């Protein structure tokens, strides 16, 4: 039987403050695809991610994640298939270790608890000093916060990543490490918002959300 | 031993004590002079009015009338709580009413029926003063609890949404906010239990002593009322948050900003 697409969006319309931020957007993303969303500010890139996560209820249209339609009933299961890294991550208060451990206390993530043993290895991989684990999250720089948020997402071991400008606060070397991590993972579906055209994969798709916000494949 | 009455003339002389704080207010030009005069006038009129009404209620001592009076007090407290928070009255008045009703009546009826072992649960002499004390504390705690819960979840909305994105159920994502709200709301009662008797003679104890009872009786009443207040505030705060959740979060778990008077 043919595997359903990782994400399928049918005629999605989202209105915010009376304005159509997304207007009848339709797209399909297959498992393992790497997709970059570009477009000017306010064209609905983040809104699209928020709709996929169920943070915004669409005015029209449907969203399917691995064949499951996003509804108030299914949203709780659907979210356990996604990993989200916000542009300016706010992971809550506490030290970094507590922040990384907290999602593992949720019932849906009990099976991922063993992944916490990967924290030192991931810190090394993303060039973060291990001493940061005992530091307060609020004292971290923007780039450190971004990498901690990425590590938190990786620990959840999801198959679909929604990355909202995940490297905007990183230097060139750190940015390259992040991009290479996703390049080497063919099993992961990655949706990445970027102003600059990041190169995650040689076969990556670039979708420009233009003023009409219907989405144009480039 | 009976309580000595205060003649109205002597009470009027009692107002002379106001000269001291009013003089301080005027001397330092503290901008609450007219506010103070209005507050004193309101206090006098309200208490005279309630005094007259309670006189009738106590004389009739009808269970239905007494229960109705408690219910009226709960409705007034309910409106007062909603007005003190940033929440829309139409969306939370009803759930908060049930939270207050449970938080007041459960410890009240336990106090009168189990501790005092009174044959009548709604005797005016007990149900009105004890109910009033429990309700007053529930009101204060509920305002703190709701303000803390909704204020912090609104302020930390990004962190809250990240928890949902990380796979948290609604109950898991709101748990830290409920914990902070309960801590803020219950801490004053915990602190007053820890210092009671050392810092000041508490209200109920004073009332029972003035009513002519032995100090040991007054102490037993005070202990029981403190426990009843703690129980009532805990019930009111947790139910106040829990019962408003359905209106304050969407079916997808995100915060429903329409619950706030001023939307962001």
Give per-residue pLDDT as tens, A141-197.
999 999 999 999 999 999 999 999 988 888 888 888 988 899 888 899 999 998 766
User: Residue A108: CB partners within 8 Å, gap ≥ 6?
Assistant: A76, A79, A80, B167, B168, B169
Any catalytic annotation for residue A165? Answer: yes
Whether residue B52 is found in the same domain as residue B130? no
Whether residue B236 is found in the same domain as residue B116? yes
Contact A93, A132 (CB under 8 A): no
| pLDDT of A203 higher than 80 | no
Cross-chain residue pair B167–A79, CB shorter than 8 Å: yes
pLDDT over 90 percentage in chain A: 68
Residue B240 lies in a domain: yes
Query: Looking at A90-94, A149-153, B94-98, B249-253, which range is the least confident one?
Result: A90-94
| pLDDT of B62 higher than 60 | yes
Whether residue B132 is found in the same domain as residue B180? yes
Looking at CA atoms only, how far is residue A159 from chain B in angstroms? 13
Using alpha carbons, select from A9, A38, A7, A6 the residue that is nearest to residue A192. Answer: A38
Residue B56 lies in a domain: yes
Q: Which of A33, A144, A165, A198 is catalytic?
A: A165
Whether residue B149 is found in the same domain as residue B105? yes
Axis crossing angle, helix B215-248 with helix B170-195, rounded to the nearest 10: 160
Residue B113 lies in a domain: yes
Residue B46 lies in a domain: yes
Whether residue B51 is found in the same domain as residue B67? no
Element (H, E) at A143: helix A142-155
Place B154 in a pLDDT band, splitting at 50, 70 and 90.
Answer: very high
Confidence at residue A69, expressed as pLDDT on a 0 to 100 scale: 97
Confidence at residue B38, expressed as pLDDT on a 0 to 100 scale: 96
Using alpha carbons, select from B130, B222, B232 the residue that is nearest to residue B186. Answer: B232
Place A39 in a pLDDT band, splitting at 50, 70 and 90.
Answer: confident
Confidence at residue A54, expressed as pLDDT on a 0 to 100 scale: 96
Residue B264 lies in a domain: no
Q: Longest Cα pair distance anywhere in chain B, in angstroms?
A: 69
Confidence at residue A169, expressed as pLDDT on a 0 to 100 scale: 83
Of A17, A47, A54, which to mutate for an interface test with B (greatest number of B Cβ within 10 Å)? A54
Whether residue B49 is found in the same domain as residue B179? no
* Residues of chain A contacting residue B156, judged by C-beta atoms under 8 Å apart: 90, 92
Residue carrying structure tokens 């299961």: A77
- CB-nearest to A108 from B161, B167, B176 is B167
| pLDDT of A202 higher than 80 | no
Q: What is the pTM of this model?
A: 0.87
- CB-nearest to A90 from B159, B166, B168 is B159
Contact A213, A47 (CB under 8 A): no
Cross-chain residue pair A80–B167, CB shorter than 8 Å: yes
Report residue A148 CA to chain centroid gap: 14
| pLDDT of B1 higher than 60 | no
Mean pLDDT of B89-109: 96
Whether residue B52 is found in the same domain as residue B92? no
Quick: pLDDT tens for B34-55.
999 999 999 999 999 989 988 9
Whether residue B56 is found in the same domain as residue B69? no
| pLDDT of A213 higher than 80 | no
| pLDDT of A17 higher than 70 | yes
The better pLDDT of the pair A23, B102 is held by B102
Mean pLDDT of B224-234: 95
From A81, which residue of chain B is nearest by alpha-carbon distance?
A: B167
Confidence at residue A196, expressed as pLDDT on a 0 to 100 scale: 64
| pLDDT of A20 higher than 70 | yes
Whether residue B122 is found in the same domain as residue B173? yes
Q: Which A residues 71-110 touch B at CB under 8 Å?
A: 72, 75-76, 79-80, 82-84, 86, 88-93, 102-103, 105-109
Tell me if residue A11 falls in helix, strand or coil. Answer: strand
* Residues of chain A contacting residue B158, judged by C-beta atoms under 8 Å apart: 86, 88, 90
Q: Count of A–B CB contacts within 8 Å?
A: 70
Whether residue B148 is found in the same domain as residue B46? no
Mean pLDDT of A52-73: 96
Quick: pLDDT tens for A83-136.
999 988 999 889 999 999 999 999 999 999 999 999 999 999 999 999 999 999
Give chain B's domain count.
2
Confidence at residue A41, expressed as pLDDT on a 0 to 100 scale: 84
- CB-nearest to A57 from B163, B168, B250 is B250
Looking at CA atoms only, how far is residue B134 from chain A in angstroms? 35
Looking at CA atoms only, how far is residue A156 from chain B in angstroms? 8
Of B34, B60, B86, the last residue of a domain is: B60
Of B22, B41, B60, the last residue of a domain is: B60
Confidence at residue A42, expressed as pLDDT on a 0 to 100 scale: 83
Whether residue B80 is found in the same domain as residue B180? yes
Confidence at residue B263, expressed as pLDDT on a 0 to 100 scale: 62
- CB-nearest to B165 from A82, A105, A107 is A82
Whether residue B113 is found in the same domain as residue B221? yes
Range among B17-21, B124-128, B214-218 with highest mean pLDDT value: B17-21
ipTM of the predicted structure? Answer: 0.93
Residues of B with CB under 8 A from a CB of A: 156, 158-159, 161-169, 172, 176, 250-254
Instruction: Give the residue numbers spanning the domain of B47.
Output: 1-60
- CB-nearest to A106 from B159, B166, B253 is B166
Residue B233 lies in a domain: yes
Residue B192 lies in a domain: yes
Of B252, B253, B254, which to mutate for an interface test with A (greatest number of A Cβ within 10 Å)? B252
- Return mean pLDDT, chain B: 93
């Amino acid at each position: 039987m043919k595997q359903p697409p990782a994400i399928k969006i049918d005629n999605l319309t989202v209105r915010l403050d009376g304005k159509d931020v997304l207007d009848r957007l339709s797209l399909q993303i297959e498992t393992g695809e790497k997709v970059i969303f570009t477009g000017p500010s306010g064209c609905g890139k983040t809104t699209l991610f928020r709709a996929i996560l169920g943070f915004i209820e669409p005015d029209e249209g449907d969203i399917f994640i691995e064949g499951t339609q996003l509804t108030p009933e299914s949203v709780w299961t659907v979210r356990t298939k996604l990993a989200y890294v916000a542009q300016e991550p706010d992971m809550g208060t506490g030290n970094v270790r507590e922040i990384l451990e907290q999602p593992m206390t949720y019932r849906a993530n009990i099976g991922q608890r063993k992944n916490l043993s990967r924290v030192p290895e991931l810190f090394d991989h993303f060039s973060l000093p291990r001493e940061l684990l005992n530091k307060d999250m609020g004292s971290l720089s923007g780039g450190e916060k971004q990498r901690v948020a990425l590590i938190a997402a990786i620990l959840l071991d999801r198959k679909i990543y929604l990355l909202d400008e995940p490297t905007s606060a990183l230097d060139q070397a750190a940015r390259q490490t992040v991009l290479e991590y996703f390049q080497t993972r063919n099993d992961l579906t990655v949706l990445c918002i970027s102003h600059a055209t990041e190169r995650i994969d040689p076969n990556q798709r670039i979708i420009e959300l233009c003023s009409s916000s219907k989405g144009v494949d480039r | 031993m009976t309580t000595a009455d205060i003649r109205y003339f002597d009470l009027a002389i009692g107002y002379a004590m106001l000269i001291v704080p009013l003089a301080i207010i005027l001397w330092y030009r503290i901008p609450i002079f007219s506010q103070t005069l209005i507050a004193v006038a309101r206090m006098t009129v309200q208490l005279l009015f309630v005094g007259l009404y309670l006189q009738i209620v106590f004389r009739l001592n009808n269970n239905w009338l007494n229960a109705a009076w408690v219910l009226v007090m709960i409705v007034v407290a309910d409106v007062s709580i909603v007005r003190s928070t940033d929440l829309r009255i139409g969306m939370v008045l009803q759930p908060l009413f049930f939270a207050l009703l449970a938080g007041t009546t459960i410890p009240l009826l336990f106090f009168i029926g189990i501790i005092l072992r009174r044959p009548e649960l709604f005797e005016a002499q007990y149900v009105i003063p004890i109910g009033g004390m429990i309700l007053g504390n529930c009101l204060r705690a509920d305002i703190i609890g709701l303000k803390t819960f909704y204020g912090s979840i609104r302020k930390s909305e990004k962190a809250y949404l990240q928890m949902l994105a990380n796979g948290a159920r609604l109950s898991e994502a709101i748990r830290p906010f409920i914990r902070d709200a309960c801590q803020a709301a219950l801490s004053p009662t915990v602190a007053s239990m820890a210092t009671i008797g050392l810092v000041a003679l508490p209200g109920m104890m004073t009332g029972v002593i003035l009513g002519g009872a032995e100090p040991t009786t007054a102490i037993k009443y005070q202990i029981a009322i403190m426990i009843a207040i703690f129980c009532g505030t805990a019930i009111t705060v947790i139910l106040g948050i829990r019962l408003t959740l359905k209106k304050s979060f969407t079916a997808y778990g995100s915060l429903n900003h329409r619950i706030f008077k001023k939307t962001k």
